Chain A
Amino acid sequence: MTLPVRRLRLGVLFTALLGGAALAADHPEAVAGRSADALAHDIFKQLIEINTTDSVGNITTAAQALAQRFLAAGFPAADVLVAGPEERKKNLVVRLHGSGGQRPVLLIGHLDVVEARSEDWSTDPFKLIEKDGYFYGRGTLDMKSGDAIMAAALLRLKQEGYRGTRDLILALTADEENGCCNGVEWLTRNHRDLIDAEFVLNHDGLVGYSITSEHGVPEEFALSATEKMYADYQLAVTNRGGHSSLPRPDNAIYQLAQGLLRISQYSFPFELNEITRAYFERMAGARSGQVAADMRAITRSPADAQAIARLALEPELNSLMRTTCVATRLDGGHANNALPQRAQAVVNCRILPGHSKEEVRKELMQVVNDPQIAVRYLTEDGALADTAPEQRSLPPSPLLPQVLGPLQNTVAALWPGLPVVPFMNAGATDGIFTRAAGLPTYGVAGIAVDRGDVRAHGRDERVRVSSFYRGNEFFYRYLKAITAP
C-alpha cells in the first residue's frame, strides 16, 4: 500500500494556515464544541484527581466514576461494564452501538499513571492545575487527557443520537505502566467477545500524543502502526580478583569495556518494514536537500549504503531503520584497592518487528566476541535467564485505508498541510497485546507536544490547554469519520 505523498513545507507558512482552520465562533458546531470541551475538561479533572498509581492508587474508582457518567448519559447498563480480576484494578468497557454495517472499532486507553511524588513537583500532581496555558498533573499527557477525550467523544456522540456504521467500544484499563496482567492483556484473554473489533485505536500513540510540534507549531502527525520490542540484557565478566597493588592483564573491568566498545561500534542490519518505508517516503516530502534525497535513496532497492550511513547520524532516524542496543548501566568491583571480581553492564535493546529477543542475544554474543563475557537475558522483574524468549515480535499492522483515509481527511481539516506519517514506536504500549490478539492497532491522538517537552513519567507533566481542546475536537471528528456511512 502506498500513501499519497504530501509535499507541504512546514514552519512559518504553516502557522498562517492554522488560523484558517478555526471554526467561526457562532457556528452551531462551535457551540457544541465548547460544551464538549467543558465536558472533556470535567472528566479530565475528575480522572487526574483520582490517584491511579500502582502503589496506593485505585483504578476501579476511576473506572466506576466514568461508568457513572455513561449510565447517566443514557448508556444501557448492559453496555457499561466494570470488570477485572483484582478489586483495585478493574477496567471499564463501554459500547456505543452502531448500525452494524461494519465491524466494531476498539478504542483503548490506560487509566493508570506512573508514580509522582509531590515534593518533586511544582504543583500537586494529583490536582489538575491550569497555569500559563498548560494543564499540569500526573497523567495530563500519559494519558488521562486521552481517556477524557475518548470518553467525552462517546458521550457527545450519544447525546447527539449519532448512529455510525460500527459499534464503538471504549476500554479504559489498568496496569499499562506497572503491575501486570489486569488490563488489556486480561481483556483479550478473558473477554475477547467484549472487545472484538476490526481494528484498534490506541490513544497512547507515542506517549499520549501523535503530533510533534516546535513552539506549538505542529510538524508531523505520527500514525503509530508498529512497535519495537523492549529487551534488557546483562553482560557480566567474573575474575578471581586480587590485590590492586599487583594488576594483572586479565581484568574484569577492562574485559567488559572491550566488549562494550565492540557493541558501541556495531550497527544492527538496516531493515525497513511497511511502516518505516512509508515513513521515509513521506518524510522525504517534508524534508529537503541531502536528507530528502537520502530518505528516497534508502527506500529504493537496494538501499543506498551511504545514504543509510548519513541518515543514521540522526538518532531518531537511526532508531527507525534498525534494532538498537545501548549500554545503560555499569557496575563493577567491590573495593578501591582490590582487583574487580566482577564487572557487569546492562544493555538495553529495542528490537525491530519480526525478530526475537533470543536472536538479539545471540547477535550480541557474536558482537562481543568473548566467551568470558556472559550475555544473559534480564527479565522485567530483574531475574536473569541464560536464554531469552524465542518468540518473534509482531509484524506491523497493515495501513488499512479505512483507518488512514479518514485520518488524513480529519487531520487536513484541523491542521491543513500537516503530514500524516506512518510511524514505528520505539517504546512499548498496550498495543502489543491487541496486536498479539490479531487486532490491527494504531496509535492515534490529536494532542501536540513540543519536541523536547515530553514530560510523561517525569516531573511537572503537562499538556497545552489549546492542544487538549483541539485533540478533543479531533478525536470526536475522527470517530465520526471512521464510522460514517
Chain B
Amino acid sequence: MSEALIEMQNIEKVFLTDEVETHALSNIHLAVGKNEWLSIVGPSGSGKTTLLAILGLLDTATGGQYLLDGKPVQDLSPSDRAHVRNRHIGFIFQSFNLIGDLTVFENVELPLTYRGMPPAERKKRVEDALNRVGMSHRARHMPGQLSGGQQQRVAVSRAVAGDPLILLADEPTGNLDSKNGQAVMKLLSELHQGGSTLIMVTHDPAYARLATRTVSLFDGRIVEETGTSAA
C-alpha cells in the first residue's frame, strides 16, 4: 500500500448566494496515495471542478480536514497556499491557460521564477520539461503560434517542470480533438509510469479508465468508487 499523499476527511463546500445555501460538496472522504492516478467523473454541476480546486488549494473547503503530504492545509494563509501550489502542485487546465505574452520557454519557466530558483537551474529544468513533452523545438514561440495540442503539451511541461508532488488535470482533453486528446493522455500515462501522482477530472469514460482508480460524484457527494485505492 502506498503512503497517503492526500487525505480528505468530511470535506464540505457551501456557497451562500442571496441567503440560499448551496452545498457544492458534502461529506467527501478521499485518500490518494503516491504514484496513484485518480479520475474524478460525474455530470455537470456534480462538484468535480470544485473538488479539484480544493485539492489544488485554489479554493477552500467550508468544512472538514485536508492533509497534503501529512500536513493540514485548509487553514493556510493565501501566501502559504501560493507557496504550496508553487512547490507541490502542478496544474493542467482544459483551456491550457498559457500566458499569451510569454514565450513557450517563459511559460514553463514561470512557476520556477516564483520559487526564486537560480537562472541556470531554471534553464536546465525548463529544457528537460520541454524535452519530455517533445516541445523543445518550440521554446521561443508564442502560445498563439501553436496548435491546441501543442499548447496543452506545453501546459503539461509547465506542470511537471517544478517536479511537484501531485499533478491536477481539469478536463485536459476537453478542448482538443480526439487525436490530440489521445496524445495528451499518452503523455499523462507516461508521467504516471514515471512515478507521478495524478488526479484528473474528465467527462470521458474511456480516459477515466486509464486511471488506477475512479471516483464518481453526483450532487456533491462521492457515489461510486472503482479500482483500487493505493492509500
Partners in one complex: no
